[in-house]
Amino acid sequence: MSWKNTNKRYGTLSIGLHWLMLLLLIAVYACIELRELYPKGSDPREALKTWHFMLGLSVWVLVALRIYARLTAPTPSITPEPVRWQMLSAKLAHLALYGLMIVMPLLGWLLLSASGKPIPFFGLELPALVAKNKELAGLVKEVHQTMGVVGYYLIGLHAAAALFHHYYIKDDTLVRILPKN
């Protein structure tokens, strides 16, 4: 299989990035949810928060590569071709998912900055985006958390749509992004 997309199928680069991003998003969400199992200030809770930050920033780094891959290669056509409203819905959902993968890590970085906390990234400490500002931190935290909930729905909708296309409509939407045997 080619690493580049063709008009019929996604290439290994797009497929690999798609599934890697899913695993990263699962890890990001798992870290922030699992932290609740530990008392505030405890080492495991702080470690999970740190991993949440670092994995979230990894999503932001990799989404740039995904966008590049998407813009420089054809998008495989779906056979049989879906009706127009489904194509438009898919494009809007993908745009929302890309927006989520770009904006959420930036909001997390902004939140840490406005909270006056370090921004860890695998042994590096990234610079603050803004000076410490408690009001801004509170606002950004609220937006970040709300978008996190929206993310659950977007990811679920994306997966449900793929399964709907595969099992109900019986087109090749899902198999185009699956690794070949």
3-class secondary structure for 130-154? CCCCHHHHHHHHHHHHHHHHHHHHH
Q: What is the pLDDT of residue 180?
A: 82
Number of CB atoms found within 10 A of residue 119's CB: 19
**In whole angstroms, what is the distance from residue 178 CA to residue 97 CA?**
19
The domains of the chain, with CATH numbers, are 12-169 (1.20.950)
Q: What is the mean pLDDT of the chain?
A: 95
As a whole number of Å, the CA-based R_g of the chain is 18
Query: What whole-number distance in Å separates Cα of residue 62 and Cα of residue 24?
Result: 10
Lowest mean pLDDT, pick from 7-11, 58-62, 119-123: 7-11
pLDDT of residue 3: 85
Lowest mean pLDDT among 3-7, 108-112, 158-162, 163-167: 3-7
181 pLDDT more than 60: no
Check whether 130 has a pLDDT greater than 60.
yes
pLDDT at 2: 84
DSSP string, 76-109: PPPSSPPPHHHHHHHHHHHHHHHHHHHHHHHHHH
Residue 103: phi and psi, rounded to 5, are -75, -40
